[in-house]
């Protein structure tokens, strides 16, 4: 009796461990990569915050195979006139590189460019007066450049 109970318990435990391991592997699998990518490339500040948190912990997202590389603001200054645009440019690069890799760039370019502009404007919201106006003008220029040449 004890032997059968022990065997049944061991089999049940092994089955449970297998189910949990399979569920954990499925949770980590990049099955919903497109959904994660979309959630990190929206125009909202929460989307930006989620992307920034993931960027700071890239290893946790390794199964997704995202391209985190960036040249920041390409051939434009990363921090024009002292305005810190580099992270906005990094997120823009993230969107461009990853949507190009999935073959869906053209369907998403407009939103990526709009998200970039919203990110830049959020940077500018940290200023006031003439400095904010200058920042917003610079943001507009960067946005127009990516719309035309990005």
Angstrom distances, CA of residue 8 to CA of 3, 17, 18: 9, 14, 15
Contact call for residues 35 and 41 (beta carbons, < 8 A): no
Mark whether 2 is an active-site residue: no
The two counts, helices (H) then strands (E), for the chain are: 6, 0
DSSP string, 90-141: HHHHHHHHHHHHHT-HHHHHHHHHHHHHHHHHHHHTT--HHHHHHHHHHHHH
Catalytic residue among 36, 83, 92, 139: 92
CA 129 to CA 119: how far, in whole Å? 19
Specify the length of the chain in residues.
150
Q: Which residues are catalytic?
A: 92
């Amino acid at each position: 009796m004890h032997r059968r109970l022990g065997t049944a318990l061991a089999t049940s435990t092994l089955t449970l461990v297998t189910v949990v391991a399979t569920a954990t592997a499925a949770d980590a699998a990049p099955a919903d990569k497109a959904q994660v990518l979309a959630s990190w490339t929206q125009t909202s500040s929460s989307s930006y915050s989620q992307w920034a948190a993931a960027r700071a912990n890239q290893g946790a997202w390794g199964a997704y195979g995202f391209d985190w590389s960036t040249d920041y603001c390409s051939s434009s200054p990363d921090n024009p006139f002292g305005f810190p645009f580099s992270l906005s440019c990094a997120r823009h690069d993230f969107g461009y590189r990853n949507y190009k890799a999935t073959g869906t760039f053209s369907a998403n370019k407009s939103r990526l460019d709009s998200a970039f502009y919203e990110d830049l404007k959020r940077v500018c919201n940290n200023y006031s007066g003439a400095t904010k106006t200058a920042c917003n003008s610079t943001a507009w220029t960067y946005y127009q450049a990516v719309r035309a040449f990005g």
